[in-house]
Chains A and B, each alone.
Chain A
Amino acid sequence: MTVGALDQFPVGMRVLAVDDDQTCLRILQTLLHRCQYHVTTTNQAQTALELLRENKNKFDLVISDVDMPDMDGFKLLELVGLEMDLPVIMLSAHSDPKYVMKGVTHGACDYLLKPVRIEELKNIWQHVVRKGKLQKKKMKQISVSNGESSEYSDQNGVKANRKRKDQYEEEEEEEERGNENDDPTAQKKPRVVWTPELHKKFIGAVDLLGLEHAVPKKILDLMNVDKLTRENVASHLQKFRAALKKIQDDANQQANMALANSHYMRMGSLNGGFHHSIPYGSSQFHGGAATMRHYRSNGALGRRNSPAGMFQHTSSLPFSNNNGRNILQGLPISPLGELQTNNNNNNNNNNRSTGFPSFSSQQSSLMVAPNNHLVLDGNPQSSSPGFSPHFEMNTPLDEHWSNAVSSTNIPQSNVHSKPDNLEWNLLCDSASPLIDPNLDANPTSLYGNTGFGSTNAAQPDFFDLLEMKQQPVNNSGPVTDAQLLSSSHLKEGLLMGQQKQQSGFMASDAGSFDDIFNSMMTQEQSQTDFSGGDLGWLSTLGTCI
């Protein structure tokens, strides 16, 4: 028997056999040896578990009896599947279909009846291969998705990416759990990926529960996602809280745009939908992203008022973009911190009064990273607000940003005056406080231009984080990204702004934003294509242009 001399596998495949019946165990062992597998036997389920836990990579396959005194075979099956993700074959003298069904529902790869024949054992290696392939596929998907974000750069691409991303997300969610355990074929197990969809649900759950009462278990229940574990939710929640805290801390420091922020925040939530599209791209926004993500979902969840409404509030906010530059100043988006530098430049470039440009650059630090002085100046320098700088905007956005950033000379003071930007960011970012603190600092950068245009492209990293492959394109790039990062609110705002850039995106969203965007748009028209494709929200904005 054995496979043929060509392929070593399945020869040497490592099997763990568990059966309390010594006779059967002995027979099974011999049979497996005859198949040229490497066999380890134990007549206790508990011992088997210990052996498996001790070294997950020690075995390729587990064969277990159903009726065992110390532990139910199905229970063992479940545990092995969950913890180690190894293929498990059930063995039993029961031919009752009920048992077979139970085996299947508990995740068994196969169900064999005693007495086992050697012919049946000769083919069990197929389960290992199958499982390995599945793992590989998942891994590939993950890496592909990650890689995709950097390719967002044109509308078509964006759309395609989005679709792909959705598919990926779906698969991800399905496979998430599966990826948790070790792959017998020694593949790295993919981590749970928090796709925008998933994050949206998470945010929804948190919203329902209220941040104070949001405990992983409840969130998990509310989210109702298959294969998501409490642990996944817990760690995600932790990150989310950390991001929020960071934002708040930043905001507290700045306190400028506090008020503005609130306005923005609302706007942000409205835009919630936008977040989706905003490519998180830059990982920098991590913190921001988290928040933004959250916000995004908020936005999506509750688009409470039309963005326009939100903006209305802030009409006083700089969004009017007159200042353009300073708008971002207010953005305390701390997460964007990194982007700040970039953003600032960008913002400057943008000249767009709308903070967005600055956002984009700011993305990382929408919160007004000091560096960015305000991109909002709208210095046309960068043409594309796209932050690129921080974000890994691979694309031209980077150039833009750098320009923008460099050009941001918006002095801190400007920033202040431009609460718009910041505010905007703040808005986007649920953490209104963000705006404040940062506003002083580098408000401009916050806003973002980062999000817009350029960010799109740049966002990849960030989004990767979120699995948002949406990168719509550089166009709105920077802003979108930045926005997203800074906070969900911010994102929204950014997105809006970005949209505008593209073509007057924000149209629907916010009245005031419109202004901002428009200004941004004009300046950054180059930004591009905000293909909007990905920027979901951008579309919603109705392409401000």
Chain B
Amino acid sequence: MVVNTIHWFRKGLRLHDNPSLKDSIQGSDTLRCIYILDPWFAGSSNVGINRWRFLLHCLEDLDASLRKLNSRLFVIRGQPTDVFPRLFKEWQINRLSYEYDSEPFGKERDAAIQKLANEAGVEVTVRISHTLYNLDKIIELNGNQPPLTYKRFQAVINRMDAVEMPAETITSEVLKNCVTPISEDHDEKFGVPSLEELGFETEGLTTAVWPGGETEALMRLERHLERKAWVANFERPRMNANSLLASPTGLSPYLRFGCLSCRLFYFKLTDLYRKVKKNHTPPLSLYGQLLWREFFYTTATNNPCFDKMDGNPICVQIPWDRNPEALAKWAEGRTGFPWIDAIMTQLRQEGWIHHLARHGVACFLTRGDLWISWEEGMKVFEELLLDADWSVNAGSWMWLSCSSFFQQFFHCYCPVGFGRRTDPNGDYIRRYLPILRGFPAKYIYDPWNAPDEVQKAAKCIIGVHYPKPMVNHAEASRINIERMKQIYQQLSCYRGLGMDVKWWRVPDINLVGPRCETGRGSQSARVSGVFIVKPGPTLSCEFLRSDLPLLPLGLYLGLPTI
């Protein structure tokens, strides 16, 4: 019997460490690697031009690598549920492979395709290679719940079996006798489209700061490791002005699209560490970037509401303000705070910003200054940020807005001070906001405080050439810290009728707090833990008994800080 195989690329856009592809090649006569492009994607979906360009680079790179193996990439327009039945018939497919997608939407889509495959008698090969571990195992090991604190997560990881080795790269030896039938009009029918063909305006588009593709990813990996070896220091580098700029060894977008295998990265880091530090066991902090990614994937995998506040069991219900005007100013870099605006400008132009810059703008939008919902910020990042995938993006936004994960929030990033401490000279600001170039370092972070002569000399009058600050930061942050406290204080006591609910520690429960009695029931959060209700003396509704500057939530919830 002739075995015709389709390998379906979604993420995992690489030929190294691609176990589902490798396994399905075994015994196949023909192989076609496809990528399905949803035609509605470009227009309505929330994906900006940089993300599209990166993806197209990845696809072109895949196509080029496959060409070297006498194969090609088949780019197919349509929706998977329409495309597959057609292809199964046309190409007489009996085998389908793809990399496991742990995200809830992905699982749903794949379940539908599995069903279609079963109906058509197509064997499906799925392998895990987008994450270091099998996420379901992590959840199982944690009492069938995803760990909700990073510390907890690290503890569970320590008990997992070793990470599986990366699979062998697909080469002509691996392919052996497996061929790809390529038609004369392959480019027309299945070629990688250009940005123009997708409907983008490319005039004036600058060269990509982050070129996509597996080749680029592997080159960067080598450079990244070289730099680490040279420094012989695996500590997190201190933040300085240079860190803000795109680095030629940056890897996050490549991990997100799967151009770089996280497992390959993991093992290369381990090897390097052992070599430099003479066989010491690497600490978990070495894999920081990878583990954070893994953490968010794990918390998200069984939660289809993970990217929302409403109906999300791990998200605190915070009464965010609805303010489309303010949101637009933030998204478009018109807040009047140069630090914020420069970051948002870099994000829009290049598609990447340093993680501390992300903290700064996220704090500003949500709990720091504007009190706008993290969901809005998440959507903007989804559009502009190259490495923002669903789980990591939503999870990080919840974290940074103090909506989950028991995050400490006493500390609020100052949109003036933080930037000033990081880059005292203000070069970063001048680079992305050329209108402010003329300001001296003393005033570049708060140009509205500059005397008129300075503004005139800089040829930039605040309020005319550059906006005035959209909020009074001191006032806004003071109010918002108070609001946050109110919310968290409500979580720690059930203000029912004469009831005194005490929370007893039950190790690692999916909870944030009890439901509070309100006129409507704007729940603080849903309970899924054990609690003991003690009827207290009737009617003791006093406000903010413990009106203390809020430190770790442990202070109120009696929860372990690990």
**Do these two chains interact?**
no
Interface residues of B (CB under 8 A from A): none
